[in-house]
């Protein structure tokens, strides 16, 4: 398995994601600077990490979404490539249009940093097939703008198409329908605010993120 992790000025979870890919899946992982115009050859998955790309100026993820590498990521995703966007990466994916909706300021206007319970809403994706539907898992969050917002019609569409990947077990940031992560229409792109890459080592407090990375390895290597 070959993974590429995008690095923006202000990224602070890029190494975490690279380590998760390497340690859990054994993936050959390449760090790709945002100014590059293309992805490495034969990449199986692209990871867009958390952090504060470009200092979150203008709007979270908005400047990063216009970096040269993001044009390559959009083309890659539209050709059927797999993309995982975590936290700021989720914001970047909405800004590029690869995922619908928007991430707004948390309803309490405070930065939230703690482990939270998530409910797995679908197992029908390369990201979630290692979990059970309705399973409760604990994954850490660290965000100020994780309040997922969408129109009523979009929320209904996401529900009807089984594209809500995870929900918060309890409301933590005001997100519509407690949505923590959503899938693209082809189910090959996942954006989520919680950090599964920070939940792959027991010494860090939990391992509920391991199943996601193992599922990716099994799905992408067999493909």
The answer to whether 51 touches 88, Cβ cutoff 8 Å, is yes
Question: Is 34 part of the annotated catalytic residue set?
Answer: no
Query: From the candidates 87, 95, 121, 143, which is the catalytic residue?
Result: 87
Please state, in angstroms and as integers, the Cα–Cα distance from residue 23 to each residue in 26, 46, 70, 219, following that order. Answer: 6, 16, 26, 17
Among 77, 44, 96, which residue's Cα sits nearest to residue 187? 77
Strands (E), 22-67: 28-33, 45-48
Question: Is 87 part of the annotated catalytic residue set?
Answer: yes
Among 147, 132, 49, which residue's Cα sits nearest to residue 90? 49
Among 156, 160, 194, which residue's Cα sits nearest to residue 177? 156
Tokens of 99: 């995922």
Query: From the candidates 60, 70, 95, 195, which is the catalytic residue?
Result: 195
Tokens 């000025």 label which residue? 9
Question: Is 143 part of the annotated catalytic residue set?
Answer: no
Query: From the candidates 34, 95, 143, 197, which is the catalytic residue?
Result: 197
Please state, in angstroms and as integers, the Cα–Cα distance from residue 67 to each residue in 62, 91, 96, 141, following that order. Answer: 9, 14, 10, 25
**Positions marked active-site:** 87, 195, 197
């Amino acid at each position: 398995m070959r993974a590429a992790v995008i690095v923006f000025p202000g990224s602070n979870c890029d190494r975490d994601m690279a380590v998760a890919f390497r340690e859990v899946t054994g993936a050959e992982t390449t760090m790709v600077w945002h100014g590059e115009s293309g992805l490495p050859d034969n990449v199986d998955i692209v990871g867009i990490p958390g952090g504060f790309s470009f200092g979150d100026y203008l709007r979270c993820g908005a400047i990063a979404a216009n970096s040269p590498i993001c044009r390559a990521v959009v083309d890659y995703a539209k050709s059927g490539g797999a993309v995982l966007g975590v936290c700021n990466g989720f914001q970047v994916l909405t800004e590029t249009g690869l995922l619908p909706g928007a991430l707004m300021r948390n309803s309490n206007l405070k930065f939230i940093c703690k482990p939270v319970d998530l409910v797995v809403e679908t197992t029908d994706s390369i990201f979630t097939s290692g979990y059970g539907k309705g399973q409760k898992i604990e994954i850490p969050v660290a965000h100020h703008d994780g309040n997922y917002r969408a129109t009523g019609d979009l929320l209904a569409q996401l529900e009807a198409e089984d594209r809500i990947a995870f929900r918060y077990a309890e409301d933590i940031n005001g997100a519509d329908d407690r949505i923590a992560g959503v899938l693209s229409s082809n189910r090959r792109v996942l954006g989520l605010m919680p950090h599964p890459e920070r939940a792959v080592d027991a010494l860090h407090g939990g391992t509920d993120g391991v199943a996601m990375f193992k599922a990716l390895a099994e799905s992408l290597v067999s493909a």
